[in-house]
Structure 1
Amino acid sequence: MDVPFWVWALTIGLIVGMLIFDLVGHVRTPHAPTLRESAIWSGVYVAIAVVFGLLILWFYGPQFGGEYFAGYITEKSLSIDNLFVFVLIMASFRVPRELQQKVLLYGITFALVLRTVFIVIGAAAIENFSWVFYIFGAILVYTAWVQARSGGHDGHEDYKENAVLRFARRHLRTTDEYHGDKMAVRLDGKRYLTPLAIALIAIGTADIIFAVDSIPAIFGLTQETYLVFAANAFSLLGLRQLFFLIDGLLDRLVYLSYGLAVILGFIGAKLLIHALHTNELPFINGGEHVTVIPEIPTWLSLTVILVTLLVTTVASLAKNRRDRARRLAAEVRLVEATVGEDEAPADATPPTAARPLPDAPARQSR
């Protein structure tokens, strides 16, 4: 895939422009976005990503178009799972609703810069060392196993601080209260970080962890650096609006972890198969390529991803519907039992008590 410099420049300019628009148009004035606002802008960002994919399809053909859409859908799915951690962080630090946009946008910007660095490193490693596919595949298979073991998210789960955040709390001066949307304030001649800055550190370090499975996953679907970068960027853009749109609905996607486990495991297997096809390790088949198992085509990857997400979503919604029906039935039975007890007369004889029988007449002797 030959991407000229001006296309790179135009794409990066578009992404930076969207971030600046977000900062100036939405986050500069702290406010809690409405559901309608979040829905509209989420739709706008998804539409931009789809239009970009259609342009790839038009100018570069179905192979690269399919790789982009497979990568974008996978990265978007992983981002939705990551939003659950963001919800826990916001709740743990009691970030006011009107300030959450700023934390999310700065965290997304940091994640985009970080992933760009990881993409450049990953692309260089793949270019020079074919055995990197073994490492990427192993990472994804292990992550899939962890996702499957987690069995979903617990709505009562608490956020656990990582080592970076504990270090920041221990060695940096912080305030206990928020000071508007300021990251740092000066008190008594000393500068302190506000809880808003600490929450941003928490989201930033969480982004590093997310990148560990995100970058290998996208490289498992395409080795085109431009597509890897674009899919990651467009999946992150609009994540802020998506947070407010589905906040409160995340706990309904009870099978999301299982669906992501299937997707990551599938991509991990695809990477391992590709690693065997490009094998140069002397202790595997004497350094020769292993082509017994055919490589997985892009159309099959896209189909597996879409079907898995569809089944996961439908199964999650069905389970929630059944659970709500059970709870409603239980509440109805409880109300009926309570009303029945209240309406019973005070002098009523308990149904289990035996009524005394009248004395039998004395038998007359013959």
Structure 2
Amino acid sequence: MEVSPLIWEVTIAVIVGMLAFDYFFHVRKAHEPHIKEAAIWSAIYVGAALIFGLFVLWQWGPTFAGEYYAGYITEKALSVDNLFVFLIIIASFKVPREDQQKVLLFGITFALVARTAFIFIGAAALNALAWLFYIFGLFLILTAVNLIRGELKDGEAEDEADNFIIRLAKRFIPTTDYYDGDKLFTVENGKRVMTPMLLVMVAIGGTDILFAFDSIPAIFGLTQETYLVFTAVAFSLMGLRQLYFLIDGLLDRLIYLSWGLAIILGFIGYKLIVHALHENDLPFINDGQPVHFPPEVTISQSLTVIVGVLVLTVLLSLYSPKGRALRVISGLRNVAEAYVTLPKDAPTAERERLAAKGAKLAERMPKVPEKYQQELIEEEDEFRDLLARARGKHEHYERTGEAPEPETLHKDTNPKV
């Protein structure tokens, strides 16, 4: 695959331009994106990635286009998994909702820079040392096993913000306990001190480096073309900020995502090891001669497995007994939170809509098996209290016609998965 310097320059310029556009027109003024805004921009970024695949098809043919699409889909799936950890970090630091965009965009920029470095280092190493495919393959299989072990343990996610770097920073650098808008530093008692905004960016940046160790070997298992690896990773990260706000609240419903990702990573690890066997030059394996069995995995087979596993993962997450239980519990929580936070001037139609939706979900709650209620509701007393407050406010509104004061929630009633 021959890629001219001009194509490289134009590609990099377009990606940098997309990032600059986000910085200057989307996050410059702190605000929380509406669902419509997030949906439109998510569609634009996904559309740009798909159109770029058509450019690859036109310029280099169907084989390389297939490699690009397989890489893009895999990296996009892994980036969605990353959003779970971003949610944990942002929640643990209690980042104001309107400032979360800037934190996410910093994380995306840091990830792009870090992964680009990994890509060029990895490409050079693979060209010189073919046996590294064995290492990458085994690493991905080990990662898949660890994902499955984590699911089987069913333990609670660790607080990603509570790590050595953060504790060290707080110990040696004066840090406020509050945010000053989106400033990284502020002045307190006449002294310049750090704000938690800088700490959360450090936490997300450090986490991005760990993600790169899974991400880069995975895509090298699908294509060894540096240009395709770079563009697939870049386009998968573009729009991640909008996707965060679009599916925030839906992520916890993808209860089998880790299983799906484990299967995909294990499959790509197997593909890498098979490729390493076909390129084998290690003297202690088949006397340094290539091993041509089993046959290499084709790009069409890779695409089929990746897309099939992701579709099956989503369907099982939404329609399995546990998935249906989570839909009821999450739906009730979201409706109750929406009602108690309604402004006083909210129209009656909106209150009636939420109340009717809540009533339908409440009718389904007794049918949710007790084991799922205990598993999915982290703080049952707080969850039940939230439902009771929402119900009481609506009954008071119906009885008196007086709109209740809106509440400010800290979202401590999220179900655990």
Partners in 1 of 2:110 and 2:246 — Cα distance? 22
1:78 corresponds to 2:78: yes
User: Which residue of the partner structure matches residue 404 of structure 2?
Assistant: none
In structure 2, how many angstroms separate the alpha carbons of the residues matched to 1:216 and 1:78?
Answer: 12
- Count of residue correspondences: 334
What residue in structure 1 maps to residue 263 of structure 2? 262
Residue type at the aligned position of 1:70: A
Asked if 1:210 corresponds to 2:245, the answer is no
Q: Letter of the aligned partner of 1:140 in structure 2? A: L
Matched, 1:30 2:33: no
Number of the residue aligned with 2:382: none
| 2:127 is equivalent to residue 103 of structure 1 | no
Secondary structure of 2:182's aligned partner: coil
Alignment-mate amino acid for residue 313 of structure 1: V
Match of 2:194 in 1: 193
Q: Which runs of 4+ in 1 moved over 4 A?
A: 152-156, 322-330
Using the TM superposition, give the Cα deviation of residue 167 of structure 1 relative to its aligned residue in structure 2, in angstroms: 2.6
Partner of 1:40: 40
Length-normalised TM-score, structure 2: 0.77
SS of the residue corresponding to residue 48 of structure 1 reads helix
Alpha-carbon distance in 1 for matches of 2:152, 2:116? 29
For the pair 1:7 / 2:10, whether they are aligned, the reply is no
Aligned-partner Cα distance in 2 for 1:186–1:85 = 31
Asked whether the equivalents of residues 175 and 196 of structure 2 are also in contact (C-alpha less than 8 Å), the reply is: yes
Give the match's secondary structure for 2:291.
coil
Report the alpha carbon displacement of residue 322 of structure 1 after superposing the two structures with TM.
Answer: 5.0
Which residue does 1:149 correspond to in 2? 149
Question: Residue in 1 aligned with 2:324?
Answer: 321
The C-alpha deviation readout for 1:110-142, integer Å capped at 9, x for no partner, is: 110000000010001001001110111011000
Q: Which SS does the other structure have where 1:192 is aligned?
A: strand
- 8 A contact 1:105–1:240 mirrored in 2: yes
After superposition, what is the alpha-carbon deviation per residue over 1:38-89, rounded to whole angstroms, capped at 9, x for unaligned?
A: 1110010000000001110111111000000000000000000010000001
Confirm or deny that 1:231 pairs with 2:232: yes
| Deviation of 1:174 (Å) | 1.3
Q: Would the alpha carbon gap of residues 152 and 233 (structure 1) be closer, same or farther in structure 2, given more than 3 Å must change?
A: farther
Q: Which residue of 1 aligns with 2:65?
A: 65
Instruction: Measure how far apart 1:166 and its partner are.
Output: 2.9
User: For the residues of structure 2 that align with 1:283 and 1:67, how far apart are their CA atoms?
Assistant: 31
The worse-fitting range, judged by mean Cα deviation, of 56-65 and 323-332 is: 323-332
Q: Distance in 2 between matches of 1:329 and 1:257?
A: 27
Instruction: Structure 2: give runs of 5+ residues left out of the alignment.
Output: 330-361, 371-417
Structure-1 separation of matches of 2:173 and 2:306? 44
**Structure 1 counterpart of 2:93:** 93
Deviation at 1:257, TM superposition (A): 0.4
**Is contact 2:318-2:327 (8 Å) kept?**
no
The Cα shift of 1:279 comes to 1.1
Identify which range, 45-54 or 159-168, moves more after superposition: 159-168
Equivalent in the alignment of 1:182 = 183
Q: Distance in 2 between matches of 1:172 and 1:192?
A: 8
CA shift at 1:162, angstroms? Answer: 3.1
3-state secondary structure, aligned to 1:27: coil
Give 1:213's aligned amino acid. D
Would you say the 8 A contact 1:152–1:254 is kept in 2? no
CA distance in 2, matches of 1:205, 1:96: 21
Contact in 2 for aligned 1:152/1:257 (Cα 8 Å): no
Cα displacement string for residues 179-234 of structure 1 (whole angstroms, at most 9, x for unaligned residues): 11101123345332110110000100110110011000000000000000000000
Deviation at 1:305, TM superposition (A): 0.2
Rounded Cα–Cα distance in structure 2 between residues aligned with 1:120 and 1:317: 39
**Distance in 2 between residues matched to 1:155 and 1:198, nearest whole Å:** 26
CA gap of 1:6–1:187, structure 2 versus 1, over 3 A, is same
The residue that corresponds to 2:296 in the other structure is 295
| 1:191 partner SS | strand
Q: Given that residues 74 and 306 in structure 2 are in contact (C-alpha distance below 8 angstroms), is that contact kept between their aligned partners in structure 1?
A: yes
Distance 2:227 2:95 in 1: 36
Whole-angstrom CA distance in 1 between matches of 2:275 and 2:199: 41
Matched residue, 1:51: 51
> Does structure 1 conserve the Cα–Cα contact (< 8 Å) formed by 2:79 and 2:240?
yes
Report deviation, 1:330: 5.0
**For residue 308 of structure 1, what is the aligned residue in structure 2?**
309
Deviation at 1:165, TM superposition (A): 2.7
For 1:187 and 1:155, the matched residues in 2 are separated by 40
Q: 1:43 and 1:264 mapped to 2: Cα distance?
A: 26
- In structure 2, do the counterparts of structure 1 residues 329 and 26 end up closer, same or farther at CA, with 3 Å as the change threshold? closer
AA of the residue aligned to 1:299:
S
**Within 2, Cα distance between the matches of 1:53 and 1:77?**
17
- What percentage of residue pairs aligned between the two structures are identical? 57
When normalised by structure 1's length, the TM-score is: 0.87
Q: Per the alignment, in what secondary structure is the counterpart of residue 151 of structure 1?
A: helix
- Tell me by how many angstroms 1:332 deviates: 7.3
Unaligned runs of 5+ in 1: 335-366
1:331 equivalent in alignment to 2:340: no
Instruction: For residue 31 of structure 2, give the secondary structure of its aligned residue in structure 1.
Output: coil
